[in-house]
Structure formats: C-alpha cells, structure tokens
Amino acid sequence: MLKTPPTLAAELSGKTGVSISAPYANENSRISLSAANIEAENGKIKIQSYGDQYYYARQSELYTFERRSYKTGKWYNRKHITEVKEHKNAKPDAVNLSASQGIDIKSGGSIDAY
C-alpha cells in the first residue's frame, strides 16, 4: 500500500500576541502568507507592510493506493484477478488568523486573498 501524507500548514503562535511586519519603504516590502495558522491566545495579531500583502490558499492532498492479486478456479480454468483501489482526497488550506483581542492588518499597497 502506498500512502502520500498531507503537507502541513505553517503554524505561528504567541501567548501575548503575534507581529509580522515589512516596514521599509521600498517596492520589495511585501508580505506573502500561504496556508498558515496564526494564533494569539491572549493578545492581538498585527500584520503590517509598506507594500502589498498576499494571502494564498493551497491545495492539500491525500492519496492512497492498494493493489491485490489472487487466483481463482480449478487448475484447468484458472483466472488471475488483480484489484486496484485508489483513494484521493483534496481540500483547500487557507490562512487562518485567530486572536482573543483582535486582528490589525495594515498595508501601504493592496491586500489580496486567493
């Protein structure tokens, strides 16, 4: 049996808060997050950038494959049977933000979520 494990999302957490910033005034001062879980248990999440911010969802996949071969019948009427079972599961993994005291997002450019 062949199994492909799903990839895991990045996890950021802080008890008193989480700050992510790209504050410098140039065109490369961007923030890009993909399939991330950000959590502030007893604080705020602050995300700020001078440039654009991008939030991407990705596709998480799980694939299993099983192959079984066997013989049936008498020696003069023998049949060879091969069974193949496949299971595919795909789901989106988004950027999740969770904070007990709120979420502040500031951008000097655009904020895009895909």
Expressed as residue numbers, the domain containing 20 is 2-113
Tell me how crowded residue 78 is: count the other CB atoms within 10 A of its CB. Answer: 9
Question: Would you state the structure tokens that stand for residue 18, as one six-digit string?
Answer: 């989480």
For the chain, the domain total comes to 1
Decide if pLDDT at 3 tops 80.
Answer: no
Amino acid at 86: E
pLDDT digits (tens, 9 = 90+) for 36-49: 889 998 999 999 99
**Pairing state of beta strands 36-40 and 10-14?**
parallel
Whether the pTM exceeds 0.85: the reply is no
Q: Report the candidate in 48, 58, 53 with the shortest Cα–Cα distance to residue 18.
A: 48
pLDDT digits (tens, 9 = 90+) for 7-47: 566 788 888 999 999 888 887 889 998 888 899 989 999 99
For residue 90, the model assigns a pLDDT of 81
* Burial class of 40 by CB neighbour count within 10 A (0 to 12, 13 to 18, 19+): buried
